[in-house]
Structure formats: C-alpha cells, structure tokens
Structure 1
Amino acid sequence: MSLPLPEPGPSSDVPAFFLTYLDFYREAVADGLAGLTDAQARSVRVPSGWTPVELIRHLTFMERRWLVWGFLGEPVPDPWGDRVDGRWHVGPDETVADVVAALRRGGARTRSIVGGAALDSPAALGGRFTDPAARPTLAAILFHVLQEYARHAGHLDVVRELIDGRTGE
C-alpha cells in the first residue's frame, strides 16, 4: 500500500483528520486492484456476487451520492448508476484504470467540498435530502462515508486474498 495507516495525533483539525483517513482508505481500495489482470478484477469470489472493480465503482458513486448530491444538493446524472437491477455493475467498456481514476477524481472533489464548508453545516435541500429536519451535517456525512470505505476495504482485502493470496493492512 502506498500510504501508511494514519495515526490519531494531537491535532484538533477535524476536517483534515477526516480527509486523511478518507484518502488512506480510498488509496487502500485502489491498491486492492493493483497488479490484478482485468479478468481477476472482474471475477466474482464471494457468494454475494460482486467483483473488485464493481466495489470500486460503488464507492465512487457512494461518495458522490453523499457529498455532491447529498451535502451540496447538486443534481448528478444517475446517482445510483453503480447498480443495474439492484446489483453493482461495471460495463465491459469501462476499464479498471478508468474506474480507479474516477474514484480519485471523486476524492479530489470531496477535498474541495470539505475545504469550503464547516463540519456543522447541514446538507443542502433539493438533492438527496428534501426534509429540513432530516438532513445530516457535513460531519455526519463524512463519518458515514469513512465507515463505508473502511468496511469495503476489509471486504476487498478478503477477496484479494482469495484471488492471489495477497493480504491487506
């Protein structure tokens, strides 16, 4: 893995703390595809039926759903586009490199969003959230996105070990 696991330190810069961990997990899942052939990245190894490249695409859409469509309230084309018939999906014309590049572009967008807002700011109305009483704060959204990355990084570690024996963090 290219990044060491972040360690909590004395800093009180909570936005930087969230971004450091998000960057770490985003790179951890990207690294989970490093060295795999296209066939391996698209192979199903678990009974639930997802592939490593589908998991990466899911994370890209998840981050966009929560931060761009959710927090900013911006319209996004097909916010659930990582799914076809309720299952994660990557088209045959989408390369692994394209999927990983999209993940990293989404991370850059997240950094921009977090840099321009306070953690206690509520999500905008009109995108993912329409009820003023139910919209989460940026901090709550970042916490959710971080836990989703960490959870799926562990899933990918197991699948990678099943593919070629490589173990994760």
Structure 2
Amino acid sequence: MPQPPEQTPAPLDGPATAAVDPRELLLGYLDWYRETLERKLAGLPDTLLRAPVEPMGWSPLGLVQHLGWVERRWMRWGFAAEDVIAYPAGGDAEEWGVPAGRSSQEVLAGYRAEVAAATAVAAAAALDDRARLGGRFRTPEDAPTLGRILFHLLQEYARHVGQLDIVRELLDGTTGE
C-alpha cells in the first residue's frame, strides 16, 4: 500500500517550544493572539474593515475596538484599579460600533495603546498578585490574581480571533492558519 508523502509539521505558535514558566506561557500566548488579531486584519480595505458581518452583527474594526475595551476593563480598571472609564456610555452598541467619523487608524491606535498599558501593568506584577481594590473589584474576596486575569484575557482572545477567522473568510475568502 502506498504511503502518503511526508509532511513537515508547522512550527508551534506562541512562545518558545521549551517554555515551561507559566508567566512566559500566558504572556507569550497573549502576545501571539494580539499579533494574530492584527495579522488577520492585514490586507482588508477600509470598507471591509468597517463592514458589519451577519450573523455576528459586528465589523472586524468593531472587534478590535471591543478588545481595546476588554484590555482596559481587565487590566487597568480591573487589576490596577485605575480611575478610567470601563464601559462606553452607549453600551454594547458603542463598544462594538465604529462611528463613521472615527478612522480605522484611530481605532487601531486606541487598541494598541490599551495593549501597551496592559502590558506595562502585567510587567510590574507577579502572577499571584491580587487585583487592587477600588476599580472593578471591591472586596479582597472578589479580587482575582493577575494570573487569573491573564488567563481570562487569553480565552477572550482565542474565542474572538477564531470568530475573526470566520468573518474574514466571509468577507473575502481568506482562511486562517
């Protein structure tokens, strides 16, 4: 019986294959998903970046904007208890909807600024440090560790980047890795 041709497996995504440190793994995969989000947007013209896709009801740019709010809510308001606006006044419609007057570059810059702020917050703390009180969390019992918050962000990105794979294929036929 003929054997199928040998294929070289694709390299593993995320952090280095020898990584065993939980912090390196969490931050490495989170960075990989953040980069993947931007990679999946590459090449989309502005009209498609802004086009809501059914049945999702959001545009790729709206997803980026949402993830900027997620970064802010969990890291700055949540973990660091910064005095920032955690939710837009217009609720989900404003969080996911990009106004015509806001450029794609503004949305991407806002998202990248939130990622940079979240990265700085994470760099200054240990995984077992608990969230400060006063922002999202009011009591010591409610305050999760940085590790727990990073794990939440990781699953949020995994879910949304997977959804973006589908949206991108619906928009222009480009498939994910």
Query: What is the TM-score with the length of structure 1 in the denominator?
Result: 0.88
- CA-to-aligned-CA distance 1:90-119 (integer Å, 9 cap, x gap): 121222122222222222222211111110
Instruction: Supply the AA of the counterpart residue of 2:87.
Output: W
In the TM superposition, what are the counterparts of 1:15-164 in structure 2 within 5 Å? 15-77=23-85, 79-81=86-88, 84-87=90-93, 88-164=96-172
Runs of 4 or more, structure 1, over 4 Å off, are none
* Distance of 1:133 and 1:53 partners within structure 2: 36
* Distance of 2:117 and 2:15 partners within structure 1: 24
Instruction: Supply the AA of the counterpart residue of 1:73.
Output: A
* Distance of 2:62 and 2:41 partners within structure 1: 11
Q: SS of the residue aligned with 1:102?
A: helix
Residue pair 1:15, 1:114 contacting (<8 A) in 2 also:
no
* Distance of 1:18 and 1:59 partners within structure 2: 17
For structure 2, the residue ranges without an aligned partner over 5 or more in a row are: 1-11
For structure 1, the residue ranges without an aligned partner over 5 or more in a row are: none
Residue pair 2:128, 2:146 contacting (<8 A) in 1 also:
yes
Task: Give 1:62 deviation, angstroms.
Answer: 0.2
| 113-122 or 94-103: bigger deviation | 94-103
Task: Give 1:13 deviation, angstroms.
Answer: 3.0
Residue pair 1:26, 1:104 contacting (<8 A) in 2 also:
no
Instruction: Tell me the percent identity.
Output: 45
Paired positions, count: 164
Q: SS of the residue aligned with 2:30?
A: helix
Q: SS of the residue aligned with 1:32?
A: helix
Instruction: Supply the AA of the counterpart residue of 1:117.
Output: A
Task: Give 1:85 deviation, angstroms.
Answer: 4.6
Residue pair 1:30, 1:100 contacting (<8 A) in 2 also:
no
